[in-house]
Amino acid sequence: MKINRVSIDDTFAEAFPMKATRVIVTALNETWALHAATAMTGFATSVIACGCEAGIERPLTPTETPDGRPGFAVLLFAMSKKELIKQIQNRVGQCVLTAPTSACFAGIEDGQALPLGKNLRFFGDGHQIAKKLGKRRYWRVPVMDGEFLCEETTGLAAAIGGGNFIILARDQVSALGAAERAIAAMNKVAGVIMPFPGGVVRSGSKVGSKYKALPASTNHLFCPTLRGAVPSELSADVGAVLEIVIDGLDSAAIDEATRVGIRAACRGRDHGVLRISAGNYGGNLGPFHFKLRNILK
């Protein structure tokens, strides 16, 4: 299979089950909502070391938010419910509660309830006030610019982490340009995030290492500087490789993000992109297999 003369490998991206939630962060204006959402999703690229994977799903207009203010939908993914609860409490408490004029609401109403304002209310030191509207319960926590409004719980969702595709190009500029085009297209897909910086990762990894303390190490098969010294997936004309990792609330969302991302990346060989591949471990890492050619048909 080729798209604009770019070869699509007959392979699959291997992904694994995760737990996820969505929260909605709002503020007086878009600038401060973005400050809070950006801080909340910092240091959240990989569960290998960050505890969770998180990112901004999309901006929200005032007509889409519970309090009629500008906001952002944020997705958080973790390997267990326990870890997800911990990450929500720490990140909302340290990054949203602290941001001027901010408020925080559930982005998933169904599913098992996860604490949101339920635990953060104690910051009010006994001065917090509960408010119930319909079936939804909120907490008003006094802070120095007024009050922090936070919904009591948000919903837990079964999710998928580790969807991916790999861009093989002639040089760094070509690889990065293709990745930027892909991310711009993928950011329009609901229900997914690309958790690495700018959505792109250059340090693609394999499971394990020669060093016992490391759970993951550089994916030598895709490192151009190691070609000739170790087994390689790279032909002589590949000078740079970048990977895009996708976390999604379901397989359909990851399928769509993969589809639009690869098509955006494959502008053509004249733009330096030579091949598209994906990372997998022969089916030993996770039960979700995103077959590139099937997705692109």
Q: What is the pLDDT of residues 102-155, one digit of tens each?
A: 999 999 999 999 999 999 999 999 999 999 998 899 999 999 999 999 999 999
* C-alpha to C-alpha distance for 195 and 60, rounded to whole angstroms: 19
Residue 207's Cβ-count burial label (10 Å; 0-12, 13-18, 19+) is: exposed
Q: 112 and 94 in contact (C-beta within 8 Å)?
A: no
Q: Which residues of 121-142 are buried (b: 16+ CB within 10 A; e: fewer)?
A: bebbeeebeeeeeeeeebbbbe
Q: Do residues 45 and 201 make contact, with C-beta atoms less than 8 angstroms apart?
A: yes
The length of the chain in residues reads 297
Token pair, residue 268, equals: 């053509």
Give the pLDDT score at 18.
98
Give the start-to-end residue ranges of the domains of the chain: 2-14+159-296, 18-157
Four-CA torsion 22, 52, 184, 29, nearest 10 degrees: 50
Residue 5 has a pLDDT of 93
Q: Looking at domain 2-14+159-296, does it have CATH number 3.30.70.520? A: yes
Task: Enumerate residue ranges in the chain where pLDDT < 70.
Answer: none
Q: What pLDDT sits at residue 282?
A: 87
Same fold, 2-14+159-296 and 18-157: yes
CA distances from 66 to 95, 149, 230 (A): 20, 11, 55
CB contact at 8 A, 178 and 238: no
Locate 90 and state its tokens: 């720490």
HSE toward the beta carbon, residue 124, CA cutoff 13 A: 19
Could you tell me which residues are beta bridge partners of residue 241? 168
CATH architecture of 18-157: 2-Layer Sandwich (3.30)
* DSSP code per residue over the chain: -EETTEEE-S-EEEEEEEEEEEEEEE-SSHHHHHHHHHHHTTT-S-TTTSSSEEEEEEEE-GGGSTTSS-EEEEEEEESSHHHHHHHHHHHIIIIITTSTT-EEEES--SSSEEESHHHHGGGGTT--EEEEETTEEEEEEEETTEEEEEESEEE-EEEEEEEEEEEEESSHHHHHHHHHHHHHHHTTSTTEE--SGGG-BS--EEE--SSTT-SEEE-GGG-GGGBTTB--S--TT--EEEEEEEEESSHHHHHHHHHHHHHHH-S-GGGTEEEEE----TTSS-SEEEEHHHHH-
**101: its two tokens:** 């004029």
d(CA 241, CA 275): 10
Quick one: pLDDT at residue 284?
83
Sorted by sequence, the CB contacts under 8 Å of residue 76 that are 6+ apart come out as 20, 21, 22, 23, 41, 44, 52, 53, 54, 84, 87, 88, 91
